[in-house]
Each structure stands twice: as C-alpha cells, then as structure tokens.
Amino acid sequence: MLIMKKVRVRFAPSPTGPLHIGGVRTALYNYLFAKQNNGDFILRIEDTDQTRFVPGAEEYIIEAFQWLGIRFDEGVGIGGNYGPYKQSERKPMYKQYADYLVDNGWAYYAFDTPEALEARRKEAEAQKKTFQYDASTRQGLCNSLSLSKEEVEEKLNSGAPYVIRFKYPANLDITVHDMIRGEVKINSNLLDDKVLYKSDGMPTYHLANIVDDHTMEISHVIRGEEWLPSAPLHVMLYQAFGWEAPRFAHLPLLLKPDGNGKLSKRDGDRLGFPVFPLQWKDPKSGDISSGYRESGYLPEAVINMLALLGWNPGTEQELIDLPTLVKLFSIDNISKSGAKFNLEKAKWFNHQYIQLADEERLFTYFDGELRKHGVSADKEYVLHVQRLMKERVHFIPEFWEQTSYFFVAPTEYDPQAVKKRWKPGTAQHLRKMMEIIQAVQPFDKLKAHDAVMDYVQGNELNMGAVMNSFRIALVGAAKGPDLFEIIAAIGVEETARRVSRAIETIEP
Ligand code: GLU
C-alpha cells in the first residue's frame, strides 16, 4: 500500500512591509490545498534579512489573516510541534547545515570584499558581460577553493568576514518538477553561486528556507512565480543534503488591470483600488496605503475574488464561499499565465456578498458608519433603511453615503439638479403637494402617492420636474429610492420642515 505523506504547507512571508494581495492569494491557495487534503497550514516568518525588517509588519500579517478568516494550524502566534516558527529564533540551528555542505564539497567559504566584487562587476560590464560567481570565475576569486588550506584557516581564525556560497557542479542540467509548469530545466553554468550563510551567523533565505521546509516536514511548496528562479538552487540543496524535496507549485503573477506588468505595491492607490488587505501606515514616512478592510470590502468577497485570480473551478460558477472553495480547489486548474486584476469584478463580488450577508452583521457595519458620522439611531429604524437601501451599496462606507438623508436633513442642494429641476412655480407646487400629503390622515404612502399624482396630472405639471424638486428638498440631490418611502421613513413633519427649508434656501 502506498503511504501518502501528510500534506503540510506553509505561508512564509518576510516581514518587510504590508502584505501584498498577491501574497494573500498565495496563502489562500496554500490554505485551500491544506484543508482539502486534511493537511496542516503553517505560518512561518522569514526574517533572516534583518536589514529589511519593518516594525509592525509581522503583527500586520497576523491581523490580516484574522480579518480574512483564514486560520493557520501552526506557526507564529499559534505554536505547534515544529517551532520556533520565526527564523530569527531558529538562528543557532542553521550553522550545522552550512558546515555540512562545506564539509561535503557542496559549498565553500568566500572572503571577497564587496569592493572587490564590485570591481569584478564593473570589469565585466565594460566588456558587455555580466559577472557571475561560478565554476568559471571561482578560481580567480578569494575563497576556500582558490586559497590554500592554511590561508583559509588563517582567515577564519582571524575573524575575517566571510560568506558560504553554494558550489554548483559545472555544466549540470537541473530539472525542477513544477505542478503547474511541468518540467523546468536550467543549466548550472547559468547560475550564480548563491550565498547561503554569512559570518554574522545568519543564514540567507535559501538555506533557512530549505532547512525549515525539511525540518517542518513541508510536503508542498506553493509560492509565487518570482521564486521560480530560486527553485533550481533549492532542488540542488535537497540533493546535497540527501533529503526528499517537497513538490513545487509556482503561482502565476497578479497583473495590473491592463495586463501590462505585475501589480506592484505602488500600483494600488494610483489605480484606484487597494493592494493591501488592511490599511498600512509606513512607520518611516507616515504614508498611508489603503486596505480592503478600510475601503469597505467584506473579507469573503476578497477571498472569492482572489481565489478566481489565477484559478477557476472549471465551470462558470463565480460566487463560491470558502468551504466550497476548499472542495473545488485543484492545482490542475491554476493557470500558467498571469491574472489581471479587475476592479469592476471586485466591486461586483463585494456587492454580491453585501446582499448575501446576514442582517445583524450588516447592521453592525451600518451602525458603525452612522456612529462615525455622529449619528445614533433606533435599531429598528436603521434596519428598515438597511432593507430599503442595501441593494445600492457596493462598499460599506456607502451605507452612510447613500442613506445620510434618512438620518440628517440636507443642508446643501446639488446645484446641477436644482438648475435642471427647480423652475419658477416650483415652490408653490411643493407647498401645495405638502398640504395634500398632510391631509392624508393617518399617513399612508400609497394614498399620499395617489393624491399627489392626482394633483400633478390634474394641473398638467411636468412630472419629472416637480417630483425631482420634491426629492431635492428631502435628499439634497436627485437620487434615492421611491419618494413616498422616504416620506414614510422620515415622517410627514420632517418632510414639511425640509420642504420649507429648501424653498427658503433655494429661493431666498
Ligand atoms: N520569504 C519568502 C517570501 O517572502 C518565501 C518564499 C517561499 O515561499 O519560499 O515570499
């Protein structure tokens, strides 16, 4: 019987700033794959590059997944049997692996100063070539392959700074088996002897990543396409250690809406949509970048939209909740080409999920928006407006933007609407219509409607003009649901006040 290894996948961000939504999608695909296979989903923080560390980034990452409702089984902030899950806390364990590689001829010490390397780069450039630290240049550089044993000992004993580099065998065809791309081949002569370890005791990403994936028993590495160039080195490292490599899947890029290039961290606010799950305040510059949460997206809409950016269920189905995504997901249906971000689609998803959301939950959002604007209203009334208006809401802040006049009287009137609709005689007609409405006792919106219609038709008035000027008085603009619904909600007295105020303001 074939014994399948337990599925264990990880999301391994570096805390170098806010999380890009491409990273969120990577995490999501890992999550879906893990849950579908009763596997484990792990959060590992890759913080070996201390120079790129940004305070607050790790907390941000954790908060983002909490908001999205994507739960890790193990990792930073959760714990588990394979910890610690933060690479800086695993620092002491990497040295032995670097030593193993050196001792077994898979790696070597290199003592070249940054200046010396820069000079080599310049030299190569002058000849229109690119300098590479590899089998063809190693002997001419300062390392444990070119120096004598004694010289190396002496350098190490004197505390000279060094790095440990991987020693690619010359002219070797390396094959990466990728679950999305199939076989990807590259010759080792094209590859640079990457740095694995530094004399400050820190491994680089490559060494730490492989050691951790192995010791954490990761079965599948699902990550962004930008890591594909690193995959041959990783395959070689597994070979060097004599470890079974996990299976690899490199996800297609997320592209700008026009398909021209990858969606970068700077694109979002420039193109009118967030590229980060949560708002981010840069600790150095204080600059704010918008987030999906603060822009009024529901987390399930963001998840659904991201799931379909690069994957499809093989059917036309678009609205798919998280448990269903877990069932339908398959790596086979991930596309090889990049996926264009589509703002209209994002908006559509959010609108759909707002319509599907539970009334109490929407009330919490709505009430939150009202409070932000200093309004506290009776719950039943808010729920009534919610039912009336939710269909018009695409993003949570619109719960205020589309409904404010149900709670506070307008103080300004849209000049364009006034210009178009408010005619000589309008004031007189509005006063008359108000009298007709007040005469409907007790108030009834259908009866009031019919009575006003009789007046408008009986006097052969321009229906669009009078009804819209009435609307301008109540709403401040030519928008909103049925006029008599508004009157019923705000009440006849308040309607009368608004009509008088509009007449006084517009026709002083
Ligand atoms: N630390 C890498 C990143 O920031 C992880 C790449 C990988 O998944 O191997 O994306």
| 191 in the same domain as 130 | yes
Distance 352 CA to ligand 1 centre (A): 33
The per-residue DSSP string of 251-286 comes to EPPEE-TTSSSB--TTHHHHHTS-SBSS-EE-TTT-
Determine the atom of ligand 1 nearest the C-alpha atom of 230.
9
Which residue pairs from 417-426 have beta carbons closer than 8 angstroms and sit at least 24 positions apart in sequence? 417/468, 417/472, 417/477, 417/478, 418/469, 418/472, 418/506, 420/468, 420/478, 421/464, 421/465, 421/468, 421/469, 421/472, 421/478, 422/469, 422/472, 422/506, 423/462, 423/465, 423/469, 426/465, 426/466, 426/469
Instruction: Tell me which H or E stretch contains 493.
Output: helix 492-506
What is the spatial distance between Cα 135 and Cα 145, in angstroms, rounded to a whole number?
10
Choice among 256, 262, 265, 340 that is catalytic: 265
Treating both helix axes as pointing N-terminal to C-terminal, what angle do 463-475 and 492-506 enclose, rounded to 10 degrees? Answer: 100
Distance 228 CA to ligand 1 centre (A): 11
Can 265 be counted among the known catalytic residues? Answer: yes
Determine the atom of ligand 1 nearest the C-alpha atom of 11.
8
DSSP three-state, residue 310: coil
Q: Is residue 35 part of a domain?
A: yes
Q: Is residue 336 part of a domain?
A: no
Q: Is residue 167 part of a domain?
A: yes
What DSSP designation does 500 have? H
What's the pLDDT at 2? 60
Q: Is residue 96 part of a domain?
A: yes
What is the spatial distance between Cα 413 and Cα 410, in angstroms, rounded to a whole number?
7
pLDDT beneath 70: ranges in the chain: 1-3
What's the pLDDT at 270? 85
Q: Is residue 261 part of a domain?
A: no
Q: Is residue 401 part of a domain?
A: no
Determine the atom of ligand 1 nearest the C-alpha atom of 14.
4
Q: Is residue 171 part of a domain?
A: yes
Instruction: Tell me which H or E stretch contains 90.
Output: none
Question: Cβ distance 433 to 459 under 8 Å?
Answer: no
Q: Which residue has the tokens 């806010």?
A: 18
Determine the atom of ligand 1 nearest the C-alpha atom of 12.
5
CA-based R_g, the chain, Å: 32
Distance 335 CA to ligand 1 centre (A): 20
Nearest of 442, 371, 330 to residue 35 by alpha carbon: 330
| 213 in the same domain as 140 | no
Nearest Cα residue to atom 3 of ligand 1: 13
Domain final position from 197, 225, 240: 197
| 26 in the same domain as 71 | yes
Q: Which residue has the tokens 């690069």?
A: 310
CATH number of residue 54's parent domain? 3.40.50.620
| 237 in the same domain as 158 | no
CATH number of residue 153's parent domain? 3.90.800.10
Most informative mutation of 46, 254, 262 for ligand 1 (most atoms within 8 A of CB): 46
| 429 in the same domain as 495 | yes
Question: Cβ distance 184 to 70 under 8 Å?
Answer: no
Domain that holds residue 67: 8-76+206-253
| 249 in the same domain as 111 | no
| 226 in the same domain as 188 | no
| 155 in the same domain as 114 | yes
| 433 in the same domain as 456 | yes
Nearest of 507, 496, 452 to residue 474 by alpha carbon: 496
Q: Is residue 364 part of a domain?
A: no
Distance 13 CA to ligand 1 centre (A): 5
Domain final position from 197, 219, 237: 197
Distance 23 CA to ligand 1 centre (A): 9
User: Burial level of 325, CB count in 10 A (0-12/13-18/19+)?
Assistant: buried
CA 10 to chain centre: 17
What domain count does the chain have? Answer: 3
Residues with CB under 6 A from ligand 1: 12-14, 46, 205, 209, 223, 227
Nearest Cα residue to atom 5 of ligand 1: 12
Most informative mutation of 33, 176, 205, 206 for ligand 1 (most atoms within 8 A of CB): 205
| 248 in the same domain as 193 | no
CATH number of residue 478's parent domain? 1.10.10.350
| 128 in the same domain as 68 | no
| 100 in the same domain as 188 | yes
